[in-house]
Structure 1
Amino acid sequence: MAKLTDDAGEKFENHQVALVYEFVSKAIASDLRPSNHLIPGALHKVYHGILVGNSVRRELLAFYNLSRREYLGNTTMDVRLAGLMANCGLCRPGSLVWDPFLGAGGLALAASASGALAGGCDIDYSLVHGLGMSPKAGKVSMSLTSIQFFVLFLFYITLHFYLHFVLIVYILIQKIPTATRMV
Structure 2
Amino acid sequence: MPKIENARILVVATHGFEQSELEFPRDQLRVKGAKVDVATLDGKAITGWEGTDWGREAEADLRIVEAKAEDYDAIVLPGGQINPDLLRVEADAISLIKAFYAKGKVVAAVCHAPWLLVEAGLVKGRQVTSYPSIRTDVENAGGLWQDKEVVADLGLVTSRKPEDLKAFVSKIVEEIEEGRHDRQAA
TM-score by length of 1: 0.25
Taking structure 2 as the reference length, what is the TM-score of the superposition? 0.25
Structure with higher RCO (Cα < 8 A, 6+ apart) = 2
- The structure with the greater share of residues assigned to helix is 2
